[in-house]
Copies of this chain bind each other. A is one copy, B any other.
Amino acid sequence: VTAAAPAPLVGVDLGGTLVRAAVATGEASHAEPVRHPTPHAAPPDAVLDAIAAAVREATGAAAPAGVAIGIPGPLDPVAGVVHAAPNLHGWSELPVQRLLEQRLDCPVAIENDAHLAGFAEWVAGAGRGSRDMIFVTVSTGVGGGLVLDGELFSGFAGTAGELGHTIYQPDGPPCGQGHRGCLEGTASGTAIARRARELLAAGEASSLAGLPADKLDARAVADAAADGDALAISLYAEAGRALGLAIGGFVNMLSPEAVVVGGGLINAGELLFAPLRRALPEIAFAAPLARCRVVAAALGTDAGLVGAVAWAVRRFRARAGAPAPG
């Protein structure tokens, strides 16, 4: 980076384990990312310092034109305040935007990490070219993001897109927030593992029966299902059907051009997607369903960082002192 080069735009993906920071090289592409461990048990200042250090390392000390950060928790992107980040210590109503702008001396935008993963799929992944897109991410929990009329949609409080916390069955299993009956309580990796434990405890036959309790997760169930285990297959069928019924309702509600399903559970492929697709027409009207593609995400675990980079470009390209990269 020389003095004549445009100021770098930086995307940061803040996870519970790693901080990743990368300089944009295009609308949704980036240089090799810097990775730092997240000091998740330390006070917020330590995490903010780690983010600032990762950004400085990524830019090679050039002053950035703008930084966008994906954060795992509900937040207000306009006020720049994180309401909560369950995997980080002491992050409660934290004014992250201001605290990082002080450290980095450049404009900072914060966004929910699932929103940015969805934005990445819209700019450069499976939702590319669509006008209205719903992103559903299914891993430990169920999250999401919305692109409506070609814009990332965050709603009035900035927290929109929490698709896992819509009603699926009243008095059903609790979600990760302790609410009973959310979609997440039935269709997440946590839910699959819990249901497997319940059924094994009830004496159901399965190749999973021999597994130590701490190995019995959604991935182990997916492996068993791929090997033909009937119980494991039925658990993915149940989660897929729940996702399909919920997504069918979202199609009725928003009539998107695309629904992109991402997160670790999609590695199960058709074990999840076949029952999901079968359930869609049980609830979705023919007209909006016919004009909507329901597809697997394309960017995998890169989506968070790609989304942060793309959001930095979208928000701050005018400040970078150069035409849009890429």
B287 touches A76 (CB 8 A): yes
Judge if A291 is at the interface, Cβ distance under 8 Å.
yes
A156 touches B131 (CB 8 A): yes
A253 touches B161 (CB 8 A): yes
Measured CA separation A144–B253 after assembly (Å): 9
Given contact pairs A180-B282, A181-B245, A156 touches B253 in the complex (Cβ within 8 A): no
Stretch from A100-108, A166-174, A213-221, A267-275 at the B interface: A166-174
Stretch from A19-27, A203-211, A254-262 at the B interface: A254-262
Which of A83, A131, A282, A288 has the largest count of B CB atoms less than 10 A from its CB?
Answer: A288
Given contact pairs A283-B167, A285-B74, A292 touches B148 in the complex (Cβ within 8 A): no
Residues of chain B with a CB closer than 8 A to A165's CB:
249, 252, 283-285
Measured CA separation A163–B74 after assembly (Å): 24
Measured CA separation A131–B144 after assembly (Å): 22
Query: Quick one: copies of this chain in the complex?
Result: 2
- Closest chain B CB from A177 CB (angstroms): 8
- What 1/0 flags go to A108-152 for Cβ under 8 Å of B? 000000000000000000000011100000000000101011010
A166 touches B285 (CB 8 A): no
Which residues of chain A (154-206) have a CB below 8 Å from chain B?
Answer: 154-163, 165-170, 177, 179-182
- Closest chain B CB from A250 CB (angstroms): 7
B254 touches A181 (CB 8 A): no
Measured CA separation A181–B245 after assembly (Å): 9
Judge if A242 is at the interface, Cβ distance under 8 Å.
yes
Judge if A91 is at the interface, Cβ distance under 8 Å.
no
Tell me the nearest residue of chain B to A153, going by C-beta. Answer: B148
Judge if A246 is at the interface, Cβ distance under 8 Å.
yes
**Cβ-neighbour of A156 out of B166, B249, B257 (below 8 A):** B257
A179 touches B257 (CB 8 A): no
Which residues of chain A (274-296) have a CB below 8 Å from chain B?
Answer: 282-288, 290-292
B179 touches A283 (CB 8 A): yes
Measured CA separation A117–B252 after assembly (Å): 18
Residues of chain B with a CB closer than 8 A to A132's CB:
155-156
Chain A interface (Cβ < 8 Å from any Cβ of B): 74, 76, 83, 130-132, 144, 146, 148-149, 151, 153-163, 165-170, 177, 179-182, 241-242, 245-246, 248-250, 252-257, 282-288, 290-292
List the 3 closest pairs (A to B, CB-CB), nearest first.
Answer: A155-B255, A166-B249, A162-B252
Not counting A131-B156, A157-B287, A182-B283, a sample of 19 additional A-B residue pairs whose C-beta atoms are within 8 angstroms of each other reads: A74-B287, A83-B286, A132-B156, A148-B153, A149-B151, A155-B288, A156-B255, A156-B256, A156-B257, A157-B290, A159-B285, A162-B252, A162-B253, A163-B252, A167-B168, A167-B249, A170-B241, A177-B285, A181-B245
